[in-house]
Copies of this chain bind each other. A is one copy, B any other.
């Protein structure tokens, strides 16, 4: 019996194989990416979500290497967790490595991890796997996908990609390498499905340059561009537009400043002498001489833009005549926050350009025609659509079928499904238990859905706790004490106090101290009382002390 190759896509909530992929052959394991996801609106209190890689718990010594496609959070954000357990080297291109280093440094892990710099076009062995990183274009420079030659066949993992013929760094995707893979017969393609519902071809990053040129030539006041801290290409575009139009550029937001410094140091961002100024300097220049890049494109309340919108930033205020550009796609779930900021900016007399009313952002992911090109360049035997919700994977599968990949050669799976390969077969195994892991504070995995559900209940109508002292006859020894929050106002709660005391006293004397569940009886009676009085259902607790 020949050995089998196993591929296990993992991810955060909803999106499949987005954040991590495990590739296993006999006693050797490769990991591709280890990213983080942001929680959805109803995952209350959760800071971040990391893939559930408990499959690796008893196999950590088999891991031979960690390959990283690019430096965005959803591909590297979980490394500070993963690299506590993995002892194998981590492979990434220079910019990606720079971003990872900062991250590991902050987590106090820099010394523990062997970082190996790679280049697109390299070929190197990791265990019995032969790794060939190939250049792809996205919205950050130095992105790669991976060709991985395994004893069972050649796997191609696209990473995040678009086919941008005119990228910001003038380095187009490596079509020749993809064609070469094809000639070597690709066993399985793992392809980015993000934009599987978007028809056509994603515009080049170059169209943003034109949009910014128009904007910079027309705006009379300051120009403030918000984007992701890691969108280095966008920083380059804004910087160049500022330079061309005689404005100086200030950077607001520490993460953005750190990333820019690093990109400059590594030669990915070549800014003219004197272009960058600090915010105080910017505040002393005439408005038409100033451009500012800031964090906050998702409406995050603690970001620079979020604080500016509420008048809470200590150096920057919105001024009448400002042009504010939100140069990013609003991630589903963040619409309300983003729109609130936009409305607040308009309220304060600024113009706001964003995806709703201007072309100030292009996607970093290829659209349908690009996905078709990828499939046809590679012509894989088997296909696993990844990076997307089930609706995207399903759309990607349909496209592949139209291109002649047989339906039974396509595996639309969810996170935690192992897909097993021989040179001539693909089989989807049962889904592993577990799902994704919530991170909050220093708690990794301790907060699960049961706790989140409790928070959700508390969020509906708060809580109402009665602390009760009774004597042996179940008479009240002292007046009950009430602790309540999130239910109603202090004065409303006070109005309910007398009635609550009566309920407590009556229930206690009705059931007596010998009742085994006197606290539950009082709890039930209080719940009914509060609901009858208010129509609300706070969580009710009773402590008999």
Residues of A that sit less than 8 Å from B by CB: 14, 40-42, 44-45, 197, 332-333, 335-336, 339-340, 342-343, 346-347, 352, 356-357, 389-391, 394-395, 414, 440-443, 446-448, 450-451, 454-463, 465, 467, 469, 478, 481, 483, 485-489, 492, 531, 534-537, 539, 541, 543, 545
B441 with A458: CB separation less than 8 A: no
CA A456 to CA B539, docked complex, whole Å:
15
Q: Which chain B positions have C-beta within 8 A of A448? A: 489
Given contacts A391-B343, A391-B352, A442-B535, contact A45 B460 (CB under 8 A): yes
| CA distance in complex: A463, B45 (Å) | 12
Q: Quick one: closest B residue to A354, CB to CB? A: B391
Chain B residues with CB below 8 A from A342, complex form: 389-391
Q: How far is the CA of A543 from the CA of B346 in the complex (A)?
A: 47
Main secondary structure of the interface of A (DSSP, over half): mixed
Copies of this chain present? 2
The CA of A451 and the CA of B490, in the complex, are separated in Å by 10
User: Would you call B534 and A488 a contact (CB within 8 A)?
Assistant: no
The 4 A-B residue pairs with the shortest CB-CB distance, nearest first, are A441-B535, A442-B535, A455-B486, A44-B459
Q: A45-B461, A446-B488, A463-B485 are in contact. Are A347 and B535 (CB under 8 A)?
A: no
Known: A352-B391, A451-B462. 19 other contacts (CB 8 A): A42-B336, A45-B459, A45-B460, A45-B486, A45-B536, A197-B356, A332-B336, A342-B391, A346-B394, A347-B414, A440-B536, A441-B461, A450-B489, A458-B458, A458-B485, A459-B459, A463-B485, A467-B545, A545-B545
Supply 27 A–B pairs (Cβ within 8 Å), ascending by A. A14-B343, A40-B336, A44-B459, A44-B460, A44-B486, A197-B356, A335-B335, A342-B389, A440-B535, A440-B536, A441-B531, A442-B535, A443-B534, A443-B535, A443-B536, A446-B492, A446-B534, A450-B489, A451-B487, A451-B488, A455-B460, A455-B461, A458-B463, A458-B486, A465-B483, A465-B541, A483-B541
